[in-house]
Structure 1
Amino acid sequence: MSKNKKGLKKIYLRIFPKTFLSMSLILGVLIIIVHSLVYVLMNQAYADEKKEKAKRNLNELSEQIAGKSAEEIRRICEEFALQKNVNLNLKIDGKVQHLQGFSGADIVTDELLPSDLVPLVNNEQLGSILVSDLTTVDADGKTILVQMLSNVESLKEAREATLKILPFSFLCSIVVALIFSYFYTRLIVRPIKEIAVTTEKMREMREVKCEISRSDEIGELAEDINKLYANLRQMIGRLEKEKGLISRLEKEKVDLIRGASHELKTPLSSLHIMLENMLIGTVKVEDYPEKLEAAILVGEKMSKMIEQILNVSRGGEEQMADVDMASLVEEMIFEYELIAKTRGLGFESRISKMKIRTNRSAMREVISNLVSNAVKYAEEGSVVKIVCEKGKFSIWNLGEEISAQEIPGLFDPFYRRDSEVGGNGMGLYFVKNILASLGLKYRFCAYKGGMKFEIWLK
C-alpha cells in the first residue's frame, strides 16, 4: 500500500510542476508582450491625443473669428491663446504677428511654420510643439492665415515616466501570475489526483467511484471511468457466476458418472450372475423363460437409465417451438391415469389454453417426471391436483411433507428417500437440469399436508 501511495505522490509531483511551469510561462510571455505594447504604443497614443485636442481647439477658434474684422480677430486670438495655453501666429496683409499663450517658447519668424510636430532643438525642457493651420476671411473679405502652436510635453519625459512605472507593473503582474498559476494548477491537478487514488482502489476491486461533479472534460473522464468500472464489475460478477455454474455442473457431472456407475453395477452384476448360472446349468431348463424375462427387465431398466442420462447431456439441443401446454398436460394425465387408478388415485385439473416458446420434448420429460412422482408418492385414495393457467404450472399430491432442509437433496442424482418405492433417483435431477437449460424458475415445497411443485412459464 505504501508503494502505491509513493507512486501516486510521484505522479502528483510530476504533473504539478509541469502544469505550473507551463501556465506561468504562458502568462509571463503575455505579460511581456502587453508591457512591450504599452511602452511602444503609449507615445503614439499620446501624440494622437494631442493632435485631436489641437484640432478641436482650432475648430472652436474658427467658429469664434468667422466674419470678424482683422482687429477683432487679433483680440479674440490673444484671449484664446491665453485661455487655451497655445501660441498663435497670424498672417494679415503679408505680415506675421506672434501671440504667445504659453511660456518657454519664443518663436519669431517671418513666415509661418510647417504644420506637424516640430522639434525645438534649442529647448530640451519644452520638447516638441504641434503646429496646426487655419485659413479664414475677415469682414473686409481679406484672407487671414492663423497658425496654432500647441505645447506637447516632452516625449522623453513620458518615456522615462513609463520606464519608471513599467518595472513595478511588470513585477506585480508576474507575482499575480505566479499566484494565479499555483492555485489554478492545484484546481486542475486535484481532481486528477483524486481520480488516480480512486482508480488505485478500483484496481483492488473495492466498492468505490469517482466523486467528481464537474461539467468539463475531467468530469466526463471521471464519469467514463465510473461507467467502465461498473461494467467491469458486472462482467466479473457474471464470470464468477458462470465459473460457479461451470464448477457446479462439473461436480454434478462427476457425481452423475459415479452414481450411474454404481446404479448400473448392481443390475449388470445380477444379469451376469443369471446368465452365468444358465450357462453352467444351475438353472433348470423350465425356469429359463422366467430368468430370461427377468434379464430383459434388467436390460430395459439400464437402457431407460442410460437414455435419461443422454437426455440430460443433450440439454436444449432441440430447437424451440410454440408448445400447447394444455394439450401436453392433458396428454400426461391420460398417460398416467391407469397407473393412478391402480392406487385408487384420481386427478383434479384446471387447465387453460396457453402456448409457450420452449423445447417440447424437454418440457414433456419434466411434466412426465412430476406427474409420475405425484402418483408414486401420493397417499392411496387421494386426489392429485394439477393447475396450468396464467403462465404457471403446479402439481400437488397429498402425502408425507418433506422438510425444507431435506428438499435440496432430492434434486441430487440417484437420491432416493425410500428404496422400496422404486425408481432410480434421477427424476428430479433431470427436472432441475432441464428447467435450468430452459431458463424457467421453479419451486418445490411442503403444502397443505403434501408436496407442491410449481413452474413459472415464460
Structure 2
Amino acid sequence: MKRLRLFPKIFLYTFFVMLFVTAVAHVFLYFFAPQMTLSTNNFLENGAIIESSMNTESLIRSAILKAFPLSLICCTLISLGCSLLFSKAITKPMQQISKTTEQMAKLDKNAKCPVHSCDEIGILAKNINSLYTDLLATIENLEEEKQKVSEAERSKLDFLRAASHELKTPVTALNAILENIILGVGKYKDRDTYLVQCKEITTQLSSMIKEVLDASKIDFVMEQQNAEPFDLSEELPAFCEPYCLIAKAKQIEFLLNTEGSCPVLLPKKGLEKILSNLLSNAVSYTPSGHGIQVTLQSDKLIIENECKPIPPDKLPRLFEPFYRPDFARDRKDGGNGLGLYIVDTLSKALHLHYTFIPMTSPDGMQFILYF
C-alpha cells in the first residue's frame, strides 16, 4: 500500500471500509433480528381478547440467509461506486497541484495552481501560488544583482588594466632616465637637470596614483555617505567661485545663472565631486577668449563651454577610464582621463541621468545633469 499512488490508495481504503461496515451491519442483522417476536391481539365480536405469540426466529434467519447474497452484491456495487466518486473528488485537486508543482520546478512563469474551494486543499493551493510568486521575484532580483555584480567586476577589471597601462609609461621613462644617469650616457651626464625631470615624473606618478585610488574607492565612499536635503542654488555660487578665478586667469568668461531654487536630496560630497570634474574639464578645454555658462534650473544643471565640438563617434568613449581624445593626448593638457569616468560612476551611484552633446551655436559642448 505504501508504494501505491494516491488515487488507488484512497479508493482501496474507502472500499474496504465500506465493505467492513456492510459486513458488520449484516452480522448484526443476522444475530439480533431473529430475537424479535411477533405478537398479535385479536378482538372478537363479543369483546373477548385472544392473545397469540409465535416465535419467528427460524423464519427470520432463513429469510436473512436467503437475502444475504443479493444484499452483499448490491452493497458491494454501491460501495464500489461511492469509493470511486469519493477518490476522484479527493485526488483530482491534489493531482492538479502535483502537475502544477512539476511545472513550477521547471520555473514556468505561467504555472498556477487552480483554486476551486476554500477548504484545506484550496488554502494549500493558494499558499503554493503565493510561495511561487515570491520565489520568482527572488530569482529575478538575484539575477539582476548577479548581472550588476558581473558588470561591476568587469568594470573594475577594465579599470585596473587601464590603470596599469597608464602607470607603466611614466615608470618606464623614469627607469630609463635613472639608468642613463647612473651609466653617465651622453646628455645624462648632467645629472642635476635630469634629476629635476625625474622629480617631475615622480610628482606626476604620485598624482596619477592618488586619482586612481580615489576612482577605485568611489563605490565604497558612496556607500558611507548619507543623502541630505539642501538647495543647490544656495551652494552653487560658492562652489563655482574657484573655477571663476581660474577662468578669469585664462581670460575665459564664466557666467552663472540660477533660475529659482533647486532642492535636492543627495550626498553633498558626491555631487560636489561630479560638479568639480565637470567644471574642471570645462575650464581646461575652453580656449582663451571664449566662454563658459552654467545654468541652474529647478530640475537640472546645464554646463556649456565654447570649444571645438567632440565628434559623436568619440563621445561614448569619453566616459571610459584614462581615455583622452586626439586633441588632449598630452597629460599636461588633457589630464589623466579619469574626470568623466568619475562623473559617470558617481552619477550611476546617485541614480542621476545626464546628456553630453555638441553645440552648434556657438560651437562647443553641453552637459546636462538631471535631478
Q: Normalization by structure 1: what TM-score?
A: 0.63
Corresponding residue number in structure 2 for 1:226? 129
Residue among 216, 233, 243 paired with 1:336: 243
**Structure 2 residue matching 1:210: 3-state secondary structure:** coil
Secondary structure at the counterpart of residue 451 of structure 1: strand
Say how many residue pairs are matched. 351
- Residue 26 of structure 1 aligns with which residue? 17
Structure 2 counterpart of 1:387, which letter? L
Q: Tell me, yes or no, if structure 1 residue 191 matches structure 2 residue 109.
A: no
| Residue 274 (structure 2) aligned to one of 357, 361, 366 | 366
CA spacing shift, 1:304–1:18, aligned 2, 3 Å: same
Closer, same or farther: CA 406–216 of 1 in aligned 2, 3 Å: farther
* Change in 2 beyond 3 A, CA 1:163/1:239: same
Counterpart position of 1:453: 368
From the superposition, tell whether residues 204 and 275 of structure 1 become closer, same or farther in structure 2 (CA, over 3 Å).
same
Q: Report how far residue 89 of structure 1 moved.
A: 11
Cα shift at 1:234: 2.6
Gaps in structure 2 of 5+ consecutive residues: none
> Is the alpha carbon distance of 1:388 and 1:274 closer, same or farther for their aligned partners in structure 2, counting shifts above 3 Å?
farther
Q: How much has 1:361 moved relative to structure 2?
A: 3.3
* Structure 1 residues 336 and 16: CA distance shift in structure 2, 3 A: same
Secondary structure in structure 1 of the residue aligned to 2:5: helix
CA distances 1:269-324 after superposition (whole Å, capped 9, x unpaired): 34445555666372686983x972x5454333322322222223323344426364
Once the two structures are TM-superposed, the CA of residue 16 in structure 1 deviates from its matched residue by 1.9
In the alignment, structure 1 residue 422 sits paired with structure 2 residue 326: no
Report the alpha carbon displacement of residue 157 of structure 1 after superposing the two structures with TM: 4.2
Which region of structure 1 is more displaced relative to structure 2, 345-354 or 155-164?
155-164
Give, in whole Å, the separation in 2 of the partners of 1:12 and 1:385: 79
Counterpart of 1:229 in 2: which secondary structure? helix
Equivalent residue, structure 2, for 1:346: 254
- 1:387-427 deviation digits (Å, cap 9, x = unpaired): 2635x555444662653x65443322112223345122212
- Select which of 166, 174, 178 maps to 1:263: 166
Change (3 A) 1:171 1:382: farther
State the match for 2:109 in structure 1.
Answer: 207
Alpha carbons of 1:409 and 1:42: their partners in 2 closer, same or farther (altered >3 Å)? farther
Instruction: Supply the AA of the counterpart residue of 2:294.
Output: K
Distance 1:89 1:302, change over 3 A: farther
CA distance in 1, matches of 2:343, 2:247: 21
Aligned to 1:387: 296
> What pairs with 1:68-87 in structure 2 (closer than 5 Å)?
86-87=42-43
> Which residue of structure 2 lines up, in the alignment, with residue 79 of structure 1?
none
Percent identity, aligned pairs only, is 30
Distance across 1 between alignment mates of 2:261 and 2:200: 39
1:316 is aligned to 2:220: yes
1:121-200 matches, cutoff 5 A: 127=54, 154=56, 157=59, 160-161=62-63, 164=66, 167-200=69-102
CA–CA separation in structure 1 for the residues paired with 2:74 and 2:283: 98
SS of match in other structure, 1:389: coil
Q: TM-score when scaled to structure 2?
A: 0.75
Deviations 1:146-195 (A, max 9, x none): xxxxxxxx465455555555654443233122122223322332333333
Give the Cα–Cα distance (whole angstroms) in 2 for the partners of residues 41 and 402 of structure 1. 109
2:8 to 4, 17, 22: 17
Contact 2:293 2:304 in 1 (8 A): yes
User: Do the aligned residues in 2 keep the contact of 1:402 with 1:451 (CA within 8 Å)?
Assistant: no
In 2, Cα distance between the equivalents of 1:186 and 1:87?
A: 59
2-side partners of 1:441 and 1:89: how far apart? Answer: 117
Verify: 1:251 aligned to 2:184, yes or no.
no
Instruction: Identify if the C-alpha distance between structure 1 residues 236 and 286 changes in structure 2 by more than 3 Å, giving closer, same or farther.
Output: closer
* Contact 1:401–1:447 under 8 Å retained in 2: yes
Q: 1:199 to 1:286 in 2, by over 3 A?
A: closer
Q: In the aligned structure 2, how far is the partner of 1:432 from the partner of 1:12?
A: 63
Aligned partners of 2:237 and 2:256 also within 8 Å? no
CA shift at 1:229, angstroms? 2.6
| Alignment CA distance shift 1:161-1:305 (3 Å) | same
* Contact 1:322–1:356 (8 Å) recurs in 2: yes
Q: Give the Cα separation in 1 of the matches to 2:34 and 2:257.
A: 108
Tell me, in whole angstroms, the C-alpha distance in 2 between the residues paired with 1:31 and 1:216. 30
Offset at 1:333? 1.4
> Is the contact made by 1:401 and 1:451 (CA closer than 8 Å) also made in structure 2?
no
CA RMSD of aligned residues (A): 3.9
- CA distance in 2: counterparts of 1:35 and 1:376, whole angstroms: 108
Distance 2:304 2:122 in 1: 58
Question: How far does residue 368 in structure 1 lie from its aligned partner after superposition?
Answer: 1.0
Q: Cα offset for 1:222?
A: 2.7
**Cα distance between partner residues in 2 of 1:397 and 1:417:** 17
More helix by share: 2
Partner of 1:6: none
